Chains A and B, each alone.
Chain A
Amino acid sequence: MVCSADWFAMTDLDPRLMRMLARHFHDLQGLREVAHAMFVQGVSLVWLTTRRQGWTIAAGAVGLPLLLTALSMLDRYYARFGRVVTKRRDGWGLRFAGLFAIVLLPLSTAGVPSLVWTTLAFGALWIAWDCRPYRSHHLLVFVAMIYVAFGRVAYPDAGDLAWMVPRLWAFASALALAGLLDHRLLIRAMRQTRASSAKVPDADTI
């Protein structure tokens, strides 16, 4: 007999979800994205209220250790879900550096959409496509990034970066929401698996 009755005890496991969880385990640790987003929002808020570069840099300097502390705490928190080593190491350091590069480097030529932001936006679109139907919320990040990318088109004559702050805020909000939904997906998948562990037959009986 190829299929025993035991075979059907685990049929509510979704292999696509399992594959996605294993493949994108680090990406799904969304509270890290929330921490990054809060940092961007905090610095943006200081710029928006003071309009002074010095204060904004100071806010960044104060926020950075807080962000690193939060990330370190999140490392310990997510360790409870186990460890997965992927071939493509999810480069949080690279993302972090990229985030700063986007903000600090000249954003774009006036009147032309930012190439960096557009490229990164398609990264978010790829995540939504690659992890469909579970991570379609990354479409929101895609839209927010395109909104930032086209900022220079809307404000071609702007002398400073004030035009960018509300757009950065929108991007950070989308990132935070996507991070929360990623985290919820991970928690639900793990909780679901723990709750129904009693249903599975013994290995010796299979």
Chain B
Amino acid sequence: MPTPFEHLQSLNRLVHEPARLAILVALSACEKADFLFLLNITRLTKGNLSSHLSKLAEAGLVEIEKTYEGKMPITYARLTMEGKEALKEYWKSVDKVREGIRQLKPLRTT
């Protein structure tokens, strides 16, 4: 049976990073959200958010859609099926870590 540490090692590091996790959590609650909303909600700077979105897009977890509303360019991000699965798997892994830790009994040192 895998130990909690092994479960911890198996966490998807791309998802585990809090800024990217924040983006994925926000996107999982809606169909798509624009760059400005993600900027407001995640506390990231424009450069940071752009970089994180690029990494998520490269991994196929997020899809970037560039469009226009009137003359205003808008960048939308949406979670792909892979992204949804990755997030689901991530929460499952976290649950396993939590469950494993709960089963650990503290050592008696006295």
**Which A residues are closer than 8 A to B by beta carbons?**
2-3, 6-7, 9-11, 13, 15, 18-23, 25, 80-87, 189-190, 193-194, 196-197, 199-200, 202-204, 206
Contact = CB atoms under 8 A, between A and B. Distances in A.
Interface in B26-60: 26-45, 47-48, 51-52, 55
Nearest to B25: A15
Nearest to B9: A2
B74 interface: yes
Please report whether the interface of chain A is mostly helix, strand, loop or mixed according to DSSP. helix
A202 B11 CA distance: 21
Interface residues of B, number: 38
Interface of B: 8-9, 11, 13, 16-19, 21-22, 25-45, 47-48, 51-52, 55, 74, 76
24 contacts: A2-B11, A2-B16, A7-B16, A13-B18, A19-B25, A21-B41, A22-B37, A25-B30, A82-B33, A83-B36, A83-B76, A85-B31, A189-B41, A190-B40, A193-B40, A193-B42, A197-B45, A199-B43, A200-B43, A200-B45, A202-B48, A203-B48, A203-B51, A206-B17
B6 to A, nearest CB: 11
